[in-house]
Homo-oligomer: A and B are copies of this chain.
């Protein structure tokens, strides 16, 4: 079954004075996004990789590819106004059956084990969403205050979130809702059932300076 990976790299524009979007920050000397693409390529080099990037990042990205002699093959697609729209643009590039892993561009530490299992489980069960148990206590908003909820009932959701191509394309053929916080919630809205698979705590989304420090340390070990 043909494998696809839609790598979504959002982030703000590249205006003068703005901070560099996280996906371009260096991790061990290489932009984070290149680590992410390489993880999918190294897991299985026949996977077709679709990179979704804001159009005004294209020039900078190609410049980085040249500077780093980046040789992983990919198709590049312009992002949309929201994550939902960006994923949709990526899915529209796919023109065969198969399974597609949708993955955050800023999760460079995803392992081969997780990638392989995601494709396997999605092929057999329709979906595979990477999750880890919540280690901290949780509270939920309740009016002006918050109340505690039972941590053991909750999972923290990571990516990849992997689906059969036909089913996830049908799921994305809807009006975007504000309750679509990830691809699993879109799939679920159209009646799909989500299969969770074990992630690992290393597979972090890089969103803060601490995350970069963590990622550098993990790569060194």
Contact = CB atoms under 8 A, between A and B. Distances in A.
Interface residues of A, number: 46
A144 to B, nearest CB: 9
Copies in the complex: 2
A216 interface: yes
Contacts of A213: 214, 217-218, 221
A195 B3 CA distance: 48
17 contacts: A131-B139, A137-B185, A138-B154, A138-B155, A140-B154, A140-B155, A145-B193, A145-B194, A146-B155, A148-B179, A148-B182, A149-B154, A150-B181, A201-B210, A202-B210, A213-B214, A217-B217
Interface of A: 129, 131, 134-141, 145-151, 153-158, 179, 181-182, 184-185, 188, 193-194, 196, 200-202, 205, 207-208, 210-211, 213-214, 216-218, 221
